[in-house]
Structures are given as structure tokens and as C-alpha cells.
Structure 1
Amino acid sequence: MATIQRHPDKLRDRTVLLIAGTGGIGKGVASALLSRGSKVILTSRTQAKLDDTISQLLQLYPEVPQTNVSGYTLDLGSSSVEDNIKTVTEQLKRDGIEKIEHLVCLAGDPLPTSAIEDITLDSWLKASQVRTISCVLVVKHLLPFLRAAGPASSQCSPSITLTSGSVGDKPIPGGWTLLSMIAASLHGAARQLALDLKPIRVNTVSPGVVDTDLWSGMSEEQRNAFFEQTKKNMPTGRVGDVQDVAESYLWCMCDGNVTGEVVRTNSGVLIA
């Protein structure tokens, strides 16, 4: 008969790389990881945003060694994106980082809704590059760091977590065709990569509406009206909170028994 064991602290001293980790959800995940004793590496498109996020995190956790939070600039929307990713891998090696236990891809531009009549090849590629194409390239180049983390075990099971959205499951009227395609493709990517990269685990977190800067394309009045309507429609009666959503990412890292899954954290939108 199994005996009760002391629960392992699976994230303490683990190195976690958050790609595009200076956005709303990224900051929430970084904060949660620091509270668990992880070593957090962030990337951001600009040095200013990177510096600001690191400063905020260190102020929140003054007890954390400053070396536990670091970062690099990485522009995922550039035509030279693959070279940019290679530069980050070189910087990691230069800084003595040989292994990464967990890789989290959080990249996403402000939501580019577009009527089907307005979609062009260029707009399609632009919408896809940051969210899907660059995501796959990041996995490609960071894979050696994950493999260097060692064999999978209940104590430390290397993982990759992608970020999708609930529109991949439930359509939204009004110009969401591209985003629906992108979100659904990331659901499929997690399942395929989980097989191709085993025993490294791969999952996708699929948030619903979360109060972050992702909605900055709307005016404040539009955003407030959208959030209020969302609250009325949701079983939870509220818009998603970053701290709640961050728990889904930590679960994907900690549960060595989960891979190839889409983890939905969406205020109950699929039953609304």
C-alpha cells in the first residue's frame, strides 16, 4: 500500500524561460514562479520593458537573489527572427546557462481582428508570425537546453508550455477568423510536439478573456464595455485574473503526468 510522502517542491531552483514574459500573463507567471523559488529568465521585444519588469519583480520579492531574475531582448516579429533566437541561445551559453527545465511561450500581439474581406497574405503572415511561426522556431532552438535538464522524473520533468486562446474552441462573431485558426493550430501543436519530443512534455494553456494589455487596441470605453458584457455572460461572473491564469502554467510545469493537453482557463466560456 502506498504511503504518504512529503510533497516535493518541484519548482524551487528550477530554471524557467518565459518567452515574451513581460506582458500581463507573463508577469503573473514570473511572479508565481519567484514565489516558488524558481530562477526566471524573461525575453521581451524592448530592453526598456525588460528592465521595468525585472525591477518590478525584484521589488515584489526583495528576499529573492537578484541573479534569480534575468532577461534578454528578443524581437519575434522581425524578418530576422531566427537569427534573433539564435542570439539569445548564444547569450544563455555565454552566461553559463546550460539547461532549462521549463520553457513557456507567451507571445501575442494586440489582437488583430479583421473581416474576411480585409485579410491579405501579408496580414495573415503578420498575425501568424509572433503567435505560431516564432513559437515553433523558439522550441527548435531551445530544445538542447531542455534535453540537457536530464531524464524525466517526478521531481523534475522538463516541459514546454504554449499559449493559445478560447477562440480556438468557441468562435466569436466579428472578424476573429485568423485568431481562431491560430489558436486551434496551437492546440494541435501541443499534441504533435508531445509525441515528437517525448519525454519532454508539451502542453498548451488556453485562456479566455483576461484583463491584460492584450486589449490595448480597444479604447478604454470599448474595453470596459466589453469586460462588463463578458462578466454578465460568464458562469464565474468575472473576467479572468492574471494570478488565477498563472496557476495553469505552473500546473503544466509541476504535473509530470500531463502532456499533449490543452489546459482551459476561461471563466466557463465554453458552457456559457
Structure 2
Amino acid sequence: MGTSLVVGGSSGIGLATAVRLLAHGDSVHIAGRSPQRLGAATAAHLDLKPHVLDAGDPAAVAAVLEEVGPIDRLVVTLSGSKGAGRLADLDLGELRSAFEEKLWPTLTVVKAALPHLGSRGSVTLVGAVTARIGMPGTAGIGALNAAVEALVAPLAAELAPLRVNAVSPGYVDTPWWSGLPATDREAFFAEVAQGLPTGRIASADDVAEAVVLLATNANLTGTVIESTGGAHLTA
């Protein structure tokens, strides 16, 4: 039991993580930019404590942390959907925006949370398999996720005994894919699933299980768990 804060916790992997932490017995706070998504999340899970937050705003982050108080587990799962595409066609301004939406807010939240985290607490980040595989069209978004995952080892050493870990998901059925029409998304997922060793697209809860393991297991630090369905084997 303890207090958890999930930044990016209003939907997808973040919300699934928050629900699992509730089941673990934690008092769970979720933070996100959308009041509508936060409202839907707390309507479905009444024990969640919502906070509207732009994680890129240091003053807003500080205010939420003061409101939450001491934290045992911090989970940061922020979206970074921009920056995909072949280098010759890549809009570098859009890629820079992707870093502003994911990497810098991640650093902002972790740094601001340090005074609020117990020495035996944990920080768990979420990257993506694009950081770890050589797939055409992913140089930009891969660099973004690699930057997030590269924080794990040095921070685990620097902040010990506070534990720092990350999960590197593969293909997951979350709102990240909402830009695709439903029929196109279903067809794409079906095609991808055929090439995965597991033969299926992960759910948000599949990845959340790994996040909660890292957040709660006292013997895990400096670790990045690949939750990819074997995508890193076949890419």
C-alpha cells in the first residue's frame, strides 16, 4: 500500500496502470490534460483522484505535487505520436514538438517529484519499442523514445535507493492509434498480429501489468522491460 501518481493516467496504458495500482491497495492520483478524459476515467473508477495537468508546465506540476503530498510510486506515461516517417520526408519541426510533448515533460515531472518521493519509492517511465529496433520510418520517433529510456540507467544509479525503471511497449491497442479510422486500424492490427510471435496485439492492461511490476517490486531498478509481443524479434 502507498500513494501513486500516474501522469498521463486518464486513458490507455496510464489508466490501466492506475486501475492495477488501485487493486494493489494504493491511493492513486491520475493527471492529464483533458478534463473530459479524466472525468470519464473517474466515473468508471470512482476511487481515482483526478488532476488536470499540462506536464510541460513546471508551475502546474509543482502545484499538483504539493496537492498530492508524499508519493511512493510515480509513473510517467506521456504520448509521443509525432515524428514518424522517413528521414527525407520528416518534418523536423514536428519532431521537435514531439520532444516537447514527451521528453521534456517527463524530465520536468521526475525532477519536480524528487522531493516528494520516499527514498524507497519508484519512478517508472514508458518508452516504446521504436527505441530498440531498426524499422524504416522510425528514426525520429525512435530517437524520442530512446531518449526517454536512456534516462533509466543513470537515474537509477544517481537516485538510489529510489528505483527507476521503464517499460518499452510494442503494438498496443490504445487511443494512440485513434488517428486511424476504425476499419483501417482493425485491418492494420490484424496484419501486424500475424507477424508477431504472440499472434496478437497487446491491450493496455498487458503493458500496465509490467509497469506495476516495476513500480512495486523492491528488487528491480535500472531495468527496461520489453512488452512487445516479440516485435523486437521480427522487425
Q: TM-score range, shorter-chain basis? A: over 0.9
Name the SS of the counterpart of 1:28 in structure 2. helix
Aligned to 1:214: 176
- The 5 A counterparts of 1:100-249 are 100-146=71-117, 149=118, 151-152=119-120, 158-173=121-136, 175-249=137-211
The answer on whether the counterparts of 2:4 and 2:71 sit within 8 Å (CA) in structure 1 is yes
- For residues 198 and 31 of structure 1, what CA distance do their matches in structure 2 show? 27
Ranges in structure 2 where 5+ consecutive residues have no aligned partner? none
- The 5 A counterparts of 1:14-25 are 14-25=2-13
Shift of residue 135, structure 1, vs aligned partner: 0.1
- For residues 223 and 166 of structure 2, what CA distance do their matches in structure 1 show? 6
- For residues 271 and 120 of structure 1, what CA distance do their matches in structure 2 show? 29
Superposed CA deviations along residues 169-222 of structure 1, whole A, max 9, x for unmatched, are: 11322x322111011122211111111111111011001101111111222232
Matched length: 234
Aligned to 2:232: 270
Shift of residue 121, structure 1, vs aligned partner: 4.5
Shift of residue 54, structure 1, vs aligned partner: 0.9
Aligned to 2:54: 75
| Residues 220/111 of structure 1: CA separation in 2 closer, same or farther (3 Å cut) | farther
**Between 254-263 and 103-112, the greater mean CA deviation after superposition:** 103-112
- For residues 168 and 109 of structure 1, what CA distance do their matches in structure 2 show? 12
TM-score of the two chains, using structure 1 as the length reference: 0.81
Shift of residue 76, structure 1, vs aligned partner: 3.2
Q: Rg: which structure is higher?
A: 1
Aligned partner letter, 1:44: G
| Residues 111/123 of structure 1: CA separation in 2 closer, same or farther (3 Å cut) | closer
Aligned partner letter, 1:55: A
- For residues 85 and 169 of structure 1, what CA distance do their matches in structure 2 show? 30
Which among 250, 260, 268 is matched to residue 222 of structure 2?
260
| Residues 103/71 of structure 1: CA separation in 2 closer, same or farther (3 Å cut) | same
Ranges in structure 1 where 5+ consecutive residues have no aligned partner? 1-11, 59-65, 153-157
Aligned to 2:65: 89
The answer on whether the counterparts of 1:29 and 1:249 sit within 8 Å (CA) in structure 2 is yes
Q: Are positions 1:33 and 2:9 aligned together?
A: no
- The 5 A counterparts of 1:33-52 are 33-52=21-40
The answer on whether the counterparts of 1:127 and 1:178 sit within 8 Å (CA) in structure 2 is no
Aligned partner letter, 1:167: T
- For residues 34 and 71 of structure 2, what CA distance do their matches in structure 1 show? 23
Name the SS of the counterpart of 1:101 in structure 2. strand
Aligned to 1:53: 41
The answer on whether the counterparts of 1:76 and 1:129 sit within 8 Å (CA) in structure 2 is no
Name the SS of the counterpart of 2:134 in structure 1. coil
Aligned partner letter, 2:215: M
- For residues 3 and 141 of structure 2, what CA distance do their matches in structure 1 show? 31
Shift of residue 145, structure 1, vs aligned partner: 0.7
- For residues 247 and 49 of structure 1, what CA distance do their matches in structure 2 show? 22
Shift of residue 223, structure 1, vs aligned partner: 1.2
- For residues 127 and 133 of structure 1, what CA distance do their matches in structure 2 show? 9
Point out the structure with the larger strand share: 2
Name the SS of the counterpart of 2:202 in structure 1. coil
The answer on whether the counterparts of 1:206 and 1:263 sit within 8 Å (CA) in structure 2 is yes
| Residues 246/51 of structure 1: CA separation in 2 closer, same or farther (3 Å cut) | same
Aligned-pair identity in percent equals 30
Shift of residue 120, structure 1, vs aligned partner: 4.4
